[in-house]
A and B are shown apart, each in its own frame.
Chain A
Amino acid sequence: MKPLISAHNITVMRGRHALLQNVSLHVGERDFITVVGPNGAGKSTLLKCLLGFHAPDSGTVARADGLKTGYVPQRFTADRAIPISARRFLTLRRKAGDAAVARAADETAVGDVLDKMLYALSDGELQRVLLARALLGDPQLLVLDEPAQNLDISGQLAFYKLLEKIVRERGVSILMVSHDLHLVMASTRRVVCLFHHVCCSGEPHEVAQDPDFIALFGDDMARMMAVYHHVHDHVHERAGVRADDGAGHA
């Protein structure tokens, strides 16, 4: 499968030490990759290289021709000084018709708050509006940088559930930085554990048993993931049934 976006051996220097060292990452169609790692491990830098914000000091980043990406940024506070409604924000620099806006708003359950001011939205609503904006571009790949960071636990659960639904319905690929690994285990197909270099990567339950992962995150995280592994199996099964259905029709 041709990757949508890929990094080959990229190195990014900050001063004298390497923020990223020989990192390679390939995101294919219908991928769901979660990047984990301690603070300052270079996760955001990796995303920014892939998005083309800055070129790596060495290595290459390749994007599929005409790739449409949607970006959902890390937490931010909408400034009260800027009087802009959520609806207007969605259509800034976008030639999106009312129907497209309504559809994206519907998918992300923000239809009721579109006419509120951006700064008046709750954290959860703001995050969903950002997701709606990303979806308006009809992306093949969603890049999310700790999208649920400032939500409470139920807000996080709801957000990841929503993301799962969108993945299911739209078939978009996901590349996400997240600390909430235990919450995204079920949908994540591949975990990349980053600490300046790729420590380990693979399916969530494999990574959870990897000594490198345990060294970085400790036993507790690994055990927590093992607990959620059960949930993962469950969802996997359902996904399997659906896949069989598809095969039956074919």
Chain B
Amino acid sequence: MLEDFVLRALAAGVGVALIAGALGCFVVWRRMAYFGDSLAHSALLGVALGLLYGFSVNLGTIVVCSAFAVLLVWLRQKHVLATDTLLGILAHAALSVGVVAVSFLDNTRFDLHGYLFGDILTVTAHDLWWIYGGAVVVLGLLLANWQALTLMTIHEDLARAEGVHTFRMHLLLMFLMTIVVAVFLRIVGILLITSMLIIPAATARQLVRSTGAMAAAAAALGAAAVVAGIFGSIVFDTPSGPSIVAAAALMFAAVFPLSLWVRSRSRAANEAAGPAEPVRRRA
């Protein structure tokens, strides 16, 4: 029989995978991986502030991540430095300041390791509320704006010319990323949040031929990775967050060569199909 904490972990992980599947597609398509990573790094400062001043860690994270996102957009518009340089500066500065801020906390009630790498086995009912609340908000907003976001991702000016409020859409994506960071923090940890967004989506990409299918497959793969990671972590007594990500990475490693093989075969088949087809028809 499964223990309660395992059930909670599974419920949390599946919720996270659902969110990650849909949003992860946009992270992959729009090359937001580094942005997400930097945002996540800034979360530790939010955690520290939340604990220092005694309000919710999740709220602290959302506030700090939002401020970080706004700062980034403002700096990027100055066109002084390349975006990846800015992200590198901000991400590591935020992480360092976060660790410094955390050192002011009473050590006994703070588990830095848990925040960096996540600890899904200690998920509480309160965490589950955040996860499923977050899932409703993120999936709801994504679904409602799916076509506009997709069009904007394919061609920003085209979307604009057809009446998409692209600035609003950028804000929306940032807001959703912020929520995801706040929600995923406890599950997979600051350092691994982006991997849950990217790896299942990148794996799914190899298997599908439409955007909706990619999101669904990413969610399913993410959920499978969560289940495998949780049981692996229990059986082998390994840290849960890294176990989940390792499971997701294994899936990617399995699918990627397969998709290369399928692609090369279909290319060969296409080349062969030209002259061969009429012959086959006659026969």
Contact = CB atoms under 8 A, between A and B. Distances in A.
Contacts of A83: 205, 208-211, 213-214
B29 interface: yes
A53 B164 contact: no
B152 to A, nearest CB: 10
A69 B161 contact: yes
Nearest to A78: B154
Nearest to B163: A93
A118 B29 CA distance: 14
Contacts of B148: 93
Contact of A85 (B150, B155, B210): B210
B154 A51 contact: no
Contacts of A84: 150, 154, 210-211
Interface residues of A, number: 25
Contacts of A88: 210-211
A81 B157 contact: no
Contacts of A76: 155
Contacts, number: 59
Contact of B150 (A92, A130, A137): A92
Interface centre among A51, A53, A93, A117 (most CB of B within 10 A): A93
Interface in B169-210: 205, 208-210
Contacts of A78: 154
B147 interface: yes
Given A83-B205, A83-B209, A83-B214, A92 B151 contact: yes
A154 to B, nearest CB: 23
Interface in A69-97: 69, 71, 73-74, 76, 78-79, 81-85, 88-89, 92-93
A82 B160 contact: no
Contacts of B162: 71, 93, 137
8 contacts: A51-B161, A53-B157, A53-B161, A73-B161, A81-B28, A92-B154, A93-B148, A130-B158
Interface of B: 28-29, 147-148, 150-151, 153-155, 157-158, 160-162, 164, 205, 208-211, 213-214
Nearest first, the 3 closest Cβ-Cβ pairs linking A and B are A71-B161, A93-B147, A92-B151
Given A82-B29, A82-B150, 6 more contacts: A82-B154, A82-B211, A83-B208, A83-B209, A85-B210, A93-B164
